[in-house]
């Protein structure tokens, strides 16, 4: 049924979203560390 397919897609996109959030947090932290070193 289309509902199951939607849930699956939603889970996939959500997992991707979570991964992106983690990457962004990591990158942002590194950026701030580097910025502090420069200042």
Partner 1 sequence: MDYDLNTNPFDLHFSGKLPKREPSDSGSEDVMRKWFVKDETCMLQEELTRVNSENKKLTETLARVSEKYSELQNLFKELQSRENVNFCNERKRKQDRDEFVSSPIGISCGGTVEKSTVSTAYFHAEKSDTSLTVKDGYQWRKYGQKITRDNPSPRAYFRCSFSPSCLVKKKVQRSAEDPSFVVATYEGTHNHPGPNASVSRTVKLDLVQGGLEPVEEKKGRGTIQDVLVQQMASSLTKDPKFTAALAAAISGRFIEQSRT
Task: State the minimum distance, in angstroms, from the CB of residue 36 to partner 1.
Answer: 11
Nearest approach, Cβ of 13 to partner 1 (angstroms)?
A: 5
**Residue 22, token pair as written in the block:** 């983690």
Residues forming contacts to partner 1 in the complex (CB under 8 A) are 1-3, 6-7, 9-11, 13-18, 20-21, 23-25, 27-28, 30-31, 34-35, 37-38
Angle, CA 33 vertex, CA 29 and CA 15 arms, to 5°:
15
Task: State how far the Cα of 4 lies from the Cα of 24, in Å rounded to an integer.
Answer: 30
């Amino acid at each position: 049924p289309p509902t199951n397919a939607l849930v699956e897609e939603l889970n996939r996109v959500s997992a991707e979203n979570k991964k992106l959030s983690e990457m962004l947090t990591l990158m942002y932290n590194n950026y701030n560390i580097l910025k502090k070193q420069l200042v």
